[in-house]
Amino acid sequence: MSFSSIPILDISLARKSDTKPAFLDSLRQALLQVGFLYIENVGIDDGLIQDVIRQGRAFFDLPEEKKLEIQMKNTKSFLGYNKLGNEITAFKTDWREQIDLSTPHPLPKPSDPLYYNLLSPNQWPDPNALPSFRPTYESYIRQMSALSTDFTSLIAEALHLPPTAFDRFFDIDQQHKLKIIKYPDAGALPVQNGGADSPSSDRLAQGVGPHKDSMLTSYLLQASSHRGLQAQNLAGDWIDCPPIPGTLVVAIGQGLQALTHGVCASTTHRVLSPPAGQGPRYSIPFFQGVSYDATFESVDIPAEIIEMRQEMLRNRQRMGKGDDVEFTFEKGRWGHLGEATLMNRVKSHPDVGERWYPDLLRKVREEQREKADKDEKTKLKERNGGGGGGENGSI
């Protein structure tokens, strides 16, 4: 069976002994069947959330030159401002501008692994222009860090594991990340010679293309009333995730999928640009991190939970559906999760890769050419009647 809506879970029920078992049952079903859910009553003061939204919007109102003072390619960390049309997902341009922040970390030492470059200080907007921005977001990141840690313990319990089952995959000073994103409406986007990658008013524009979040879990604050976020079900259909006041949208990341033998599968999702005339959409996702030094060991999932997930996979096979979104943490390809994460960032932000990681960017482009050649040969074989083997693409 394939999901047709996104479940809503009241996290306050997990704080009471008489309602916690039913909450864990609902969470287990959401993890195994959907990989996407809303949570409400999260315990973060609404005043702070409204300040987060106001300060986020105010950042994008700054003059372009002020935002570019902290552009992402200034540093090796992939933290900072990314201007419109400067990111790539699923080989297409993402029509959004954003700023990436994280929990604070010092600069890495020269002897540290290359992926430690992801651990660095933030680039903050000019405090003279936005005096409340930094304290607001530092407070929000602290509270979201605590919330994500608590929720991960609930995930463990929902899988019949001890609440501390995932603790060994976190650093003492674990990095978590946050983005503040503005998606202009389709009428404000450029049209470039009518190319396939160019948005236009008569078709859907890619705010961000089909993808899976990389780390453990992510928590999206939908900061405007626009629709656009969609999750893909087993039938390949796109299911709307409209903004619901007082909620966060939780997406299971590929890191959690890797650590649970695929039981907690990461769900493909995308964002469509708002239609022309509706104004920009704003969103503020928080990404729970996992230690970059972690290897590809997994927790011991109980057999009955694995069987539940296997039944879901058998349903997928019966429906003839597959998934074209690459799994970042493929076992055997990387030594540590940090290596896979760094390569993924280079792929998404080639301007940063070109400046700081040219060898990795060259490798990314070689792999992309090889994949494009392979896909073209497969299509040619199918057109020539050479068989239609392989799964149907989910996107």
Convert the pLDDT of each residue in 303-331 to its tens digit: 988 888 788 777 666 665 555 566 566 66
- Calculate the average pLDDT of the chain: 89
Give the residue, 126 or 2, on which the prediction is more confident.
Answer: 126
pLDDT at 382: 78
Query: What is the pTM (predicted TM-score) of this model?
Result: 0.89
Type and span of the H or E element at 362: helix 358-383
pLDDT of 236 over the 60 cut:
yes
User: How does residue 384 score in pLDDT terms, banded at 50, 70 and 90?
Assistant: confident
Q: How confident is the model at residue 195 (pLDDT cuts 50, 70, 90)?
A: very low
> For residue 196, is pLDDT > 70?
no
pLDDT of residue 262: 86
Contact 181, 98 (CB under 8 A): yes
- pLDDT at 202 (0 to 100): 38
Angstrom distances, CA of residue 112 to CA of 115, 177, 187: 8, 20, 46
Is the pLDDT at 1 greater than 80, yes or no?
no
Question: Residue 39 belongs to what H/E stretch?
Answer: strand 36-40
- For 151, 262, 279, the CA distances from 156, given in Å and listed in that order, are 9, 14, 40
Residue 99, strand partner residues = 81, 180
Mean pLDDT calculated for residue range 170-199 = 80
- Under DSSP, the state recorded for 127 is T
What gap in Å lies between CA 130 and CA 147, rounded to an integer?
A: 26
- The string of pLDDT tens digits covering residues 7-53 is 999 999 999 999 999 999 999 999 999 999 999 999 999 999 999 99
The residue type of 338 is: G
Contact call for residues 135 and 55 (beta carbons, < 8 A): no
Helix 133-158 to helix 46-60 angle (10° resolution) is: 120
How much of the chain exceeds pLDDT 70, in percent? 89
Give the residue-averaged pLDDT of 380-391.
60
**Residue 156, CB-side half-sphere exposure with 13 Å CA sphere:** 20
Q: What is the pLDDT of residue 6?
A: 97
Lowest mean pLDDT of 16-25, 81-90, 280-289, name the range: 81-90
Average pLDDT, integer, range 131-146: 98
- Average pLDDT over every residue of 186-209: 64
Beta-bridge partner residues of 334: 331
Residue 386 has pLDDT above 60, yes or no: no
